[in-house]
């Protein structure tokens, strides 16, 4: 199972939130630092972060490991990468779990993200953290450290590339494998993710009432039971 993290964090976010310990007994876990994040390269050109390139990075990791097909779980930006994988490389995956994301930024989603970016432009990564905490509550110290370790210019390039994303909605009906989409009930991405699930033939959707975007990742105690049930159904169907 590939675990793909969200924007401004790294693969360590999955460990910090308890997902790795919960899943490692059942799956071979493949954690990937997306380009622009963690220990991966951080180019400053938006063109380097085009969706098919970031999806191709995941496929390249599977190729290097000699894995023909895997399960994929991505959250936020990681889910956006998952949409590109599901629409461009579906034959490499048994299923997709896509959390806290929709295929494109709706106005309410773009506004939710843009507030933090405007702060980052004015005051750097510390200002971005301050906005995140004002809107979503305190961040754990280790999460702040992961954000501060970023290259701000690379993040600007990632954001610009994601903001340009187009064409995925028309491809959703052609996704042939099971998909599970979810968001927090108070996440600005809720409506877009729910709508996207309706366009994917074998998709399910669930929400986490009262949770915002960050909490939709942090509350693994609420997310894991729902995702495990989906993965078990997929496991049975592919045997």
DSSP letters for 158-196 = HHHHHHT--S-GGGGGG--S-EEEEEETT-TTHHHHHHH
Taking CA atoms, 4 is separated from 19, 20, 57, 108, 168, in Å, by: 12, 12, 11, 24, 19
Q: Are the CB atoms for 153 and 44 separated by under 8 Å?
A: yes
pLDDT in tens, the chain (239 residues): 999 999 999 999 999 999 999 999 999 999 999 999 999 999 999 999 999 999 999 999 999 999 999 999 999 999 999 999 999 999 999 999 999 999 988 878 888 778 888 888 889 999 999 988 887 788 889 989 999 999 999 999 998 898 888 779 999 999 999 999 999 999 999 999 999 999 999 999 999 999 999 999 999 999 999 999 999 998 766 55
Tokens of 11: 């693969």
Domain extents in the chain: 2-238
SS3 assignment, position 208:
strand
Domain 2-238 sits in CATH at 3.40.50.1820
| DSSP letter (8 states) at residue 140 | P
Taking CA atoms, 208 is separated from 72, 103, 113, 147, 165, in Å, by: 20, 19, 20, 25, 26
**How many whole angstroms separate alpha carbon 67 and alpha carbon 92?**
9
**How many whole angstroms separate alpha carbon 46 and alpha carbon 108?**
23
Tokens of 135: 């809107």
| DSSP letter (8 states) at residue 218 | H
**How many whole angstroms separate alpha carbon 234 and alpha carbon 232?**
5
Per-residue pLDDT at 239: 54
**What are the start-end ranges of the E strands in 76-233?**
93-99, 179-184, 203-208
Per-residue pLDDT at 233: 92
């Amino acid at each position: 199972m590939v675990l793909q993290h969200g924007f401004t964090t790294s693969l360590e976010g999955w460990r910090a939130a308890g997902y790795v310990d919960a899943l490692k007994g059942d799956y071979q876990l493949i954690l990937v630092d997306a380009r622009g994040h963690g220990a991966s390269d951080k180019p400053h050109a938006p063109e380097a972060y085009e969706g098919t390139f970031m999806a191709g990075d995941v496929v390249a990791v599977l190729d290097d490991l000699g894995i023909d097909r895997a399960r994929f779980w991505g959250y936020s930006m990681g889910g956006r990468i998952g949409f590109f994988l599901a629409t461009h490389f579906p034959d490499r995956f048994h299923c997709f779990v896509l959390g806290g994301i929709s295929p494109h930024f709706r106005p309410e989603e773009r506004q939710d993200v843009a507030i933090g970016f405007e702060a980052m432009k004015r005051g750097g990564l510390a200002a971005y953290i301050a906005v995140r905490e004002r809107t979503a509550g305190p961040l754990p110290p280790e999460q702040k450290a992961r954000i501060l370790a970023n290259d701000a210019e690379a993040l600007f390039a990632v954001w610009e590339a994601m903001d340009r994303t187009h064409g995925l909605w028309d491809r959703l009906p052609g996704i042939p494998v099971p998909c599970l989409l979810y968001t927090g009930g108070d996440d600005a991405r809720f409506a877009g993710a729910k709508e996207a699930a309706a366009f994917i033939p074998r998709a399910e959707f669930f929400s986490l009432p009262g949770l915002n975007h960050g909490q939709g990742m942090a509350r693994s105690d609420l997310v894991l039971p729902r995702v495990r049930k989906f993965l078990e159904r997929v496991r049975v169907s592919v045997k």
